[in-house]
Structure 1
Amino acid sequence: MAAIKHILFLIGKETYGVEVQYIKGIEKYEEFISIPNAPSYIEGIINLRGEVIPVFSLRQKFNMPKVEPTENTKLIIVKTGGIVIGLEVDAVKEIAEIAEEAIREAPFIIKGDKTKYIQSIANVEDGLCVILNIDGLLDEQEKADLEGLINQQ
């Protein structure tokens, strides 16, 4: 029985996960520089150890209402399609080893072009967890927009 390490985090009351292999780091939330005319899912940019990183709003991507950051708000730094982004999350819960048997393919009804970021569903201690496909978070246009945004800075 193999297990896969995931970072589990909260957006609202829902638990999401990302495989540890995609994580470059977890940072405390910091103020970012707002970018005029940026796509709605980009909160702004931060300078993280000399690297300009867009702050990506999962709440916006998931059509959830915006909330003010708290002391629990974190940035999960990931690399997708050659671009490093900071995923703004409400709280990081834990690093969990999820048994392969506990991970199921996402139901057909929630899979589609607009939900390519849903990789699977996992049973975890306190319920279900949506495992995100980091490479599915951005479509080709969003990747091009982000690359342009980063190159402008």
Structure 2
Amino acid sequence: MAEKQFVIFKLDEEEYGIDIINVKEIGIYKEPVKVPNAPNFIEGIINYRGEVIPIVNLKKRFNLNNLLINKNTRVIIININDKQIGFVVDEASQTIRLDESDIEKAPELVTGIDSKYITSVGKKDDRLILIIDLEKVLTDNEKEKINELQI
């Protein structure tokens, strides 16, 4: 059986996983610079290793409770179409390996039209982990707006 490795992060008390291959870095949260007229789920922009990158608040994007910044808050940096984007999460502190047999297709109810980014559900002991594709979290229109924020 082939194994896949995932970065696990939390939004509220729910656990989500993303393929570790897509993760460039996990960093400590730093306050972004607000950008006028940005979509409401964009927290702003930060200077990341000399590059200006937008910061997406995943809790706002998923219509969850507001983000409460604390010492556990992290920013997951990924590449989307050769652009760096940061996603703010409540916590990102571990990686896990899952056998392909422990990964099931997401139920139809979970994969509605607004949830096309939920690709599967991972089972680890008594935990259920929603596996998501961060590249699909943003629509093409939203990606274009984010590109306008980058210098």
- TM range, normalised to the smaller chain? over 0.9
Q: Specify the alignment match of 2:111 in structure 1.
A: 111
Deviation at 1:92, TM superposition (A): 1.1
How far apart, CA to CA, are the structure 2 residues paired with 1:108 and 1:83? 31
Asked if the contact 1:7/1:20 (under 8 Å) is kept, the reply is yes
Q: Specify the alignment match of 2:76 in structure 1.
A: 76
Q: 5+ residue gaps in structure 1?
A: none
Query: Is 1:62 matched with 2:71?
Result: no
Q: TM-score, normalised by structure 1?
A: 0.94
Deviation at 1:67, TM superposition (A): 2.9
Change beyond 3 A, Cα 1:82–1:6: same
Identity of aligned residues (%): 35
Asked if the contact 1:16/1:129 (under 8 Å) is kept, the reply is yes
How far apart, CA to CA, are the structure 2 residues paired with 1:10 and 1:121? 15
Deviation at 1:83, TM superposition (A): 2.6
Moved more, 48-57 or 75-84: 75-84
- Secondary structure at the residue paired with 1:109? coil
1:4-153 counterparts in 2 under 5 A? 4-151=4-151
Deviation at 1:109, TM superposition (A): 1.6
Runs of 4+ in 1 over 6 A off after TM superposition: none
- Secondary structure at the residue paired with 1:108? coil
Deviation at 1:126, TM superposition (A): 4.4
Number of residues paired by the alignment?
151
**Which residue identity lines up with residue 47 of structure 1 in the other structure?**
N
Asked if the contact 1:10/1:91 (under 8 Å) is kept, the reply is yes
Output one character per residue of 1:104-141: Cα deviation in whole Å (capped at 9) or x when no partner. Answer: 11111221331111111110234100011122111111
